[in-house]
């Protein structure tokens, strides 16, 4: 496990590390130049490097007891610290081709970023100046000593491979950087005569006689300075070569990307035929050239795609603008007609990009324009319909106001008829505006208006009754409408009453009064009939009975004090009832004598009949008089 590996690595790190064998041998060799040997204890670093069972490297902090997969800054070299500050990281694709990714902007590219080149340049400068030399031993255990030796035994640097980061520089009381700086200041210029290809013996022959050669007193220092010069010049030449190659590749890439004959479909062989004799093409190796060419094709394809997209967008917008400006194009225009109109349009005829526009895009643009015109036409029609409906509504409202005026003037009420008001209605402009439009006709509005007035009848009738009650006025059979309306008009509540409803209320109340009068007359008639019946009953029940020849004066004297006689107040009525009684009496007498004569002819038979029928009939003169 990770914890076990940390424990084992910690135990191993506590062991004392021995210097490399080569160093020990030189230190043990006899030398008169050995000045001093002293030990400087190194502080144990908190972080240490370990390896997991799967082979991955991790780092463990012995103080905080934490582990990390990433290398901490304490263990990084100056070059690694420079690189960690750069957001660009190098990766390789599936084909093995390197590409670069920016962890901050999430951008990826095939070409090496300038930031990495700058960091590489700083790293080379550090190497050239010697600032990364000296003791860099982050994984040393306590007790390891730094040994100082005589300058005669100094050498640039010994990098032993026992442990990662194990590097020791031995210089007699001075670091390699100090020696390098001294050599560079006094003798580096001198070695420029020899060049980097010369050996030490050849260099000695060339510069031995130069006074500057004696700047370094010891031969070992001179040789060390010469080797340092050669190493530095090798690095500089390699860097110059790399920069020249990089610049050549960038120049070739810019050349191909900007050349007017290059496009995303150009073959490599064709490009080699076109540019093979040019220096910008020849200075780049073929392998790098092919990689650059692939990148250029990818760039051109993307550029052409974007250009085609922008051109398509521009052409569509331009065609829309031209179609919008052509007044001859309507929602009924066909594609063939539109093409002819476009050819006649100067803006279209002079634009080659528009003429080379994709036909399908042009047709789609035209269809969208036609749909827009159709929508505009439909919207205009809808607006026209709305205007027409609004005008029709205004006409109805105006005619309704006309009916209100007639009602306020009293010419229109709940009892009005169309035939009565038609002469007045037909002469008004508001009536004429209603003719011919759909919906409600003037007759419909008139009927609705009258029906609304009639619907108010019951409520207004209650108001009129309240007014009459407050005025203590009652409608009788002899009450005129003028008197009725005059009484109503004094009340302010009558201002909103309909004239027709007032008339209908009067008629209703008058009908009730007439009904009451008829009922009263009927009651009087019934009373009179009862009195007349009592008077006739008095005459019929007179004893002795009255004869048809009895005179009125005699009868009057006999019954003058009778109640039935007094109830008939009019003398004429008494005489009339007396005469009617005499007529009935004569009729009964004639009927009786006729029956008696008939009985005389058939006495036996008549006797049998009488014996069988006299009692049920109750006949006889005496019964008839009663």
Q: Give the H or E element holding residue 58.
A: strand 57-61
Task: Give dist(CA 195, CA 27) in Å, integer.
Answer: 34
Task: Give dist(CA 244, CA 238) in Å, integer.
Answer: 10
| Every domain range in the chain assigned CATH 1.10.10.440 | 541-625
pLDDT > 70 in the chain, percent: 73
- CA 397, distance to chain mean position in Å, is 40
pLDDT higher than threshold 50 for residue 22: no
Residue 20: band (very low, low, confident or very high) from pLDDT cuts 50, 70, 90:
very low
| Length of the chain in terms of residues written | 626
Please, are residues 58 and 69 in contact by the beta-carbon 8 Å criterion?
yes
Q: Give me the chain's average pLDDT, please.
A: 75
- pLDDT for residue 109: 81
- pLDDT for residue 396: 93
Which two structure tokens, joined as six digits, stand for 8? 């084992």
Angle between helices 286-325 and 268-275 (to 10 degrees): 100
Report pLDDT digits (tens) over 128-146: 565 544 333 333 333 333 3
Residue 375: band (very low, low, confident or very high) from pLDDT cuts 50, 70, 90:
very high
- Long-range contact pairs involving 413-422 (C-beta distance under 8 Å, separation at least 24): 413/453, 413/498, 413/499, 413/500, 413/501, 413/503, 414/450, 414/453, 414/454, 414/456, 414/457, 414/498, 414/500, 414/501, 414/504, 415/500, 415/503, 415/504, 416/450, 416/500, 418/443, 418/446, 418/447, 421/446
Give me the helices (H) in 358-417, please: 359-408
- CA 348, distance to chain mean position in Å, is 38
Residue 598: band (very low, low, confident or very high) from pLDDT cuts 50, 70, 90:
low
- Give the pLDDT mean for 583-607: 64
- Give the pLDDT mean for 66-78: 81
- Give the pLDDT mean for 45-71: 83
Residue whose tokens read 């006299």: 614
Global pTM reads 0.41
Residue 524: band (very low, low, confident or very high) from pLDDT cuts 50, 70, 90:
confident
* Those residues with Cβ within 8 angstroms of residue 36's Cβ, 6 or more apart along the chain or in another chain: 148
Please, are residues 363 and 378 in contact by the beta-carbon 8 Å criterion?
no
Give me the helices (H) in 208-285, please: 219-258, 268-275, 279-282
Report pLDDT digits (tens) over 183-209: 444 455 556 656 667 777 777 777 766
Which two structure tokens, joined as six digits, stand for 67? 């582990």
Report pLDDT digits (tens) over 36-48: 333 344 456 788 8
Q: Please indicate whether residue 14 or residue 225 has the higher confidence score (pLDDT).
A: 225
Report pLDDT digits (tens) over 393-446: 999 999 999 999 998 888 888 888 999 999 989 999 999 998 988 988 999 999
For 82, 117, 126, 246, 384, the CA distances from 123, given in Å and listed in that order, are 8, 10, 5, 18, 81
| Paired sense of beta strands 158-159 and 98-102, if any | unpaired
Angle between helices 335-344 and 359-408 (to 10 degrees): 100
* Those residues with Cβ within 8 angstroms of residue 144's Cβ, 6 or more apart along the chain or in another chain: 16, 17, 19, 42, 137
pLDDT > 90 in the chain, percent: 18
Report pLDDT digits (tens) over 267-278: 999 999 999 888
Task: Give dist(CA 172, CA 156) in Å, integer.
Answer: 12
pLDDT higher than threshold 80 for residue 86: yes
Report pLDDT digits (tens) over 206-227: 776 676 666 677 777 777 877 8
Residue 310: band (very low, low, confident or very high) from pLDDT cuts 50, 70, 90:
very high
Which two structure tokens, joined as six digits, stand for 309? 């997209």
Task: Give dist(CA 299, CA 457) in Å, integer.
Answer: 92
Which two structure tokens, joined as six digits, stand for 280? 């910008």
Residue whose tokens read 């250029």: 296
- Give the pLDDT mean for 148-176: 35
Please, are residues 34 and 149 in contact by the beta-carbon 8 Å criterion?
yes
Burial bucket for residue 41 (CB in 10 Å: 0-12, 13-18, 19+):
exposed
Task: Give dist(CA 344, CA 340) in Å, integer.
Answer: 6
Beta-carbon neighbour count of residue 575 at 10 Å?
14
Task: Give dist(CA 611, CA 605) in Å, integer.
Answer: 10
Report pLDDT digits (tens) over 90-110: 887 767 778 888 888 878 887
Angle between helices 457-471 and 499-540 (to 10 degrees): 70
Task: Give dist(CA 360, CA 109) in Å, integer.
Answer: 36
Report pLDDT digits (tens) over 463-502: 888 888 887 888 888 888 888 888 888 888 878 788 888 8
The superfamily (CATH) of domain 541-625 is: FF domain (1.10.10.440)
Please, are residues 487 and 471 in contact by the beta-carbon 8 Å criterion?
yes
Which two structure tokens, joined as six digits, stand for 122? 């700083």
- In this structure, the dihedral spanned by the alpha carbons of residues 188, 181, 157 and 46, taken in order and rounded to 10 degrees, is -150
pLDDT higher than threshold 60 for residue 70: yes
Question: What are the beta bridge partners of residue 66?
Answer: 61
DSSP readout, 287-336?
Answer: HHHHHHHHHHHHHHHHHHHHHHHHHHHHHHHHHHHHHHH-TT--TT--HH
DSSP readout, 513-581?
Answer: HHHHHHHHHHHHHHHHHHHHHHHHHHHHT-SSPP-TT--HHHHHHHHTT-HHHHH---HHHHHHHHHHH
* Those residues with Cβ within 8 angstroms of residue 215's Cβ, 6 or more apart along the chain or in another chain: 186, 187
If we measure between CA atoms, which residue out of 192, 180, 173 comes closest to residue 132?
180
Half-sphere exposure of 181 (CA within 13 A, CB side): 10
- pLDDT for residue 431: 92
If we measure between CA atoms, which residue out of 155, 174, 214, 223 comes closest to residue 194?
223
Task: Calculate Rg over the CA atoms of the chain.
Answer: 70
């Amino acid at each position: 496990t990770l914890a076990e590996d940390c424990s084992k690595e910690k135990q191993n790190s506590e062991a004392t590390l021995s210097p490399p064998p080569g160093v020990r041998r030189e230190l043990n060799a006899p030398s008169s130049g050995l000045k001093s040997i002293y030990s400087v204890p190194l502080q144990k670093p908190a972080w240490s490097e370990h390896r997991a069972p799967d082979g991955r490297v991790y780092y463990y902090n012995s103080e905080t007891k934490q582990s990390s997969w990433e290398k901490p800054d304490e263990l990084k070299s100056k070059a690694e610290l420079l690189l960690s500050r750069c957001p660009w990281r190098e990766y390789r694709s599936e084909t093995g081709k390197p590409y670069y990714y920016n962890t901050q902007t999430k951008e990826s590219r095939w070409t090496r970023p300038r930031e990495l080149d700058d960091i590489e340049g700083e790293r080379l400068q550090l190497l050239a100046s010697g600032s990364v030399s000296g003791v860099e031993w982050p994984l040393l255990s306590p007790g390891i000593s730094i040994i100082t030796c005589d300058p005669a035994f100094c050498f640039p640097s010994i990098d032993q491979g026992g442990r990662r980061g194990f590097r020791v520089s031995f210089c007699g009381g001075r670091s390699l950087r100090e020696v390098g700086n001294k050599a560079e200041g006094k003798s580096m210029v001198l070695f420029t005569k020899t060049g980097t290809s010369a050996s030490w013996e050849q260099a000695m022959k060339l510069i031995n006689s130069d006074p500057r050669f004696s700047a370094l007193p010891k031969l070992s220092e001179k040789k060390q300075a010469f080797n340092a010069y050669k190493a530095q010049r090798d690095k500089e030449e390699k860097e110059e070569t790399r920069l020249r190659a990089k610049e050549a590749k960038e120049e070739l890439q810019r050349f191909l990307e900007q050349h007017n004959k290059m496009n995303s479909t150009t073959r490599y062989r064709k490009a080699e035929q076109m540019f093979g004799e040019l220096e910008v093409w020849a200075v780049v190796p073929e392998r790098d050239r092919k990689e650059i060419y692939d990148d250029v094709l990818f760039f051109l394809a993307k550029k052409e795609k974007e250009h085609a997209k922008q051109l398509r967008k521009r052409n569509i917008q331009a065609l829309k603008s031209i179609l919008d400006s052509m007044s001859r194009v309507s929602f009924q225009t066909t594609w063939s007609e539109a093409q002819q109109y476009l050819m006649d349009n100067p803006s279209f005829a002079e634009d080659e990009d528009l003429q080379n526009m994709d036909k399908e895009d042009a047709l789609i643009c035209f269809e969208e324009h036609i749909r827009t015109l159709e929508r505009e036409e439909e919207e205009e029609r809808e607006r026209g319909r709305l205007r027409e409906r609004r005008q029709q509504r205004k006409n109805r409202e105006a005619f309704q106001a006309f009916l209100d005026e007639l009602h306020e003037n009293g010419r229109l009420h709940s009892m009005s008829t169309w035939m009565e008001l038609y002469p007045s209605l037909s002469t008004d402009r508001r009536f004429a505006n209603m003719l011919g439009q759909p919906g409600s006709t003037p007759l419909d509005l008139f009927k609705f208006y009258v029906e609304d007035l009639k619907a108010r009848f019951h409520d207004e009738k209650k108001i009129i009754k309240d007014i009459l009650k407050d005025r203590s006025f009652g409608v009788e059979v002899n009450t005129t409408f003028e008197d009725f309306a005059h009484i109503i008009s004094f009340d302010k509540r009558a201002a909103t009453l309909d004239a027709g409803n007032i008339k209908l209320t009067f008629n209703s109340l008058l009908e009730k009064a007439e009904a009451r009068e008829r009922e009263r007359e009927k009651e009087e008639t019934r009373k009179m009939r009862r009195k007349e019946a009592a008077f006739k009953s008095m005459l019929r029940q007179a004893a002795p009975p009255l004869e048809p020849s009895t005179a009125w004066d005699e009868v009057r004297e006999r019954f003058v004090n009778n109640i039935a006689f007094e109830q008939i107040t009019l003398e004429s009525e008494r005489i009339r009832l007396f005469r009617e009684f005499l007529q009935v009496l004569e009729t009964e007498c004639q009927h009786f004598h006729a029956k008696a004569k008939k009985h005389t002819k058939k006495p036996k038979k008549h006797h049998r009949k009488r014996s069988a029928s006299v009692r049920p009939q109750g006949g006889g003169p005496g019964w008839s008089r009663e």
